Amino acid sequence: MKFPRVDAVHALGLLLLLLLCGASTWLVSATSPVIPEIDVPGTIYANEAFIAIVRVTRDLTALPPVYSQATGHFVVDHGVPSTFDIPFGYAASWEGSFTLSLSSGSHTLDFSVDYALDEDWIDVQHASVERSIIVQTRLPSYTVEWLQKPDGSIRAGKMIQLRFSIRDASGSFVQSDDVRIVVEDAQHSMIAEAACGRRSSSIRINDNREYYRWYWKTEKDLPEGDYSVIVLLDGANLSDNYVTIAIVS
């Protein structure tokens, strides 16, 4: 009789069909028809307001279809969520924004969406996204005012006297023992440096007259060329912070 062979083939076909159906069901469930996103500026500074944009897109071709109303939840650093309605209507996407101001350091933003596959909200689904951000400390900006510098070229081996002040936006004198000076040649190689201190080669601070003073004793064999005297201060942005000095033999 051939019936057992036919039954075996039939059974094998049913098994393959069940496997294929199972695989297809897994693929559909693994791809969410709702995609949430979070956009933030490229650079965020501490205690300064910035805009975080939340966006959610739904697949209009999904079966069963995603209902036109959803609920969003936005959370900063795992705190109390802000809950709001997401009215898709007939559109494929929705976008909202939050104005934030955060302290320096690392923070976490979470955006989740509860959506339904029917208008009775019986089959409720959930999609979420998390984004880590780094909030930077904005460096203060100061201006260097050159009070004394060479008017022309200087012969190698001479002493060059330099005086300068550092001012903030209000014009107040910025005094710091962390002020440094480096001297570079035209190839940006450092040939001299100085820090604040009491040695003869150090930068001196005149508190009463609000300026810094440095004497650069050039070497007699210093090659001819243009040299940059650069003022530096860690933790600050300095403008007009260098002068160019021409050295001749």
Q: Which amino acid is at 163?
A: R
- Say what the pLDDT of residue 140 is: 95
Four-way CATH pick for 34-135: 3.60.20.40, 2.60.40.10, 3.30.360.10, 3.40.50.300: 2.60.40.10
**CA-wise closest residue to 134 among 111, 107, 103, 109:** 107
106-165: pLDDT as tens digits? 999 999 999 998 778 888 999 999 999 999 999 999 999 999 999 999 999 999 999 999
The answer for residues whose C-beta is within 8 angstroms of residue 153's C-beta and 6 or more apart is 246, 247, 248
Q: Are both 34-135 and 141-248 of the same fold? A: yes
Q: Hey, what are 132's tokens?
A: 């880590």
Locate the domains of the chain by residue range. 34-135, 141-248
Structural contact between residues 74 and 86, judged by C-beta atoms closer than 8 angstroms: no
Residue for token digits 């695989």? 23
Distances 230 to 59, 210, 214 between C-alpha atoms, Å: 58, 19, 12
List the chain residues with pLDDT less than 50. Answer: 1-30
Domain 141-248 has CATH 2.60.40.10: yes
Strands 204-206 and 242-248: unpaired
76-87: pLDDT as tens digits? 999 999 999 999
